[in-house]
Amino acid sequence: MAIFEVIAREGLRLVKVILQNETVKTESGALYYMRGNITMQSKAPSAGGLLKSLATGENIFRPTYTGTGELYLEPSLSGFHIMELNGTEWILDSGAYWASDGSVEVGVERNKLVAGLVGGEGLFQTKVKGRGKVVMVAQGSVEEVHLQNDRLVVDGNFAIARTSTLNYRVEKATKSIFGSMTSGEFLVNTFEGTGTVLLAPVPYWGVMLLRQITAAIPNNSGSK
């Protein structure tokens, strides 16, 4: 298996991958630079894969890197979480997938229509399964929440991954529409059953600062 490492420099974080005659897969556009005898391939998808990509919004191309050397992925204000798969299957938040061992199968999970449209997760999410490491983008430090026939309610989109054993849905914060609207928490994401949810509830300071700057910029797109 390849060795994945998160490096922090000057408030940014990037992923370093050490290959010893191994293969890894990354999100399209993730490459920063590489050294050594490494070959990159980006195969054209089949007709069925192309149609699925267009329908799901997933990237059509996810390049693979094979050989011996060092691979560095694009730095970010956000962080990265490295997870070990041991035959388990996980559903990742939209945009959370960053890289994985070549042995990990990367596919698509379709959410229920209402959950996808109003829950912030999208109609389709990335599904990973098999054995090996998976690297995910996370806005802050990651916490594991283990559920045993339990229920977790999250207001926001800081749940970056969940095991496929959990039931995910979007529901009103309270039983009545009026109560949900007046509570300030109209719709929430609910995870129920037995499994694990990965949360990144506290963003890194750089992410928070960027959000505040972006929110402060006036939107003059409609004015002349």
Q: Check pLDDT > 60 for residue 19.
A: yes
Residue 95: which of 76, 121, 115 has the closest Cα?
A: 121
Secondary structure letter of residue 182 according to DSSP: H
Q: Is 173 helix (H, G, I), strand (E, B) or coil?
A: coil
Per-residue pLDDT for 187 more than 90?
Answer: no
Tens digits of residue pLDDT in 189-219: 899 999 999 999 999 988 888 888 988 888 7
99 — phi, psi (to 5°)? Answer: -165, 165
| Burial degree of 219 (CB within 10 A; 0-12, 13-18, 19+) | exposed
pLDDT at 117 over 90: no
- pLDDT (tens digit per residue) in 42-71: 875 544 444 444 444 455 578 999 999 999
Beta partners for 26? 99
More confident residue, 158 or 58: 158
Measured between alpha carbons, how far is 106 from 100 in angstroms, rounded to an integer?
Answer: 9
Q: Which H or E run includes 18?
A: strand 12-26
What's the CA gap between 131 and 108, in Å, rounded?
A: 17
pLDDT band for 23, please (50, 70, 90 cuts). Answer: very high
Give the model's confidence band at 157: pLDDT under 50 very low, under 70 low, under 90 confident, else very high. confident
DSSP 88-111: EEEEEPTT-EEEEETTSEEEEEEP
Give the integer Cα–Cα distance in Å for 160 and 171: 19
Q: Where do the domains of the chain lie, and which CATH numbers do they carry?
A: 3-216 (3.60.160.10)
pLDDT band at 103 (very low <50, low <70, confident <90, very high): very high
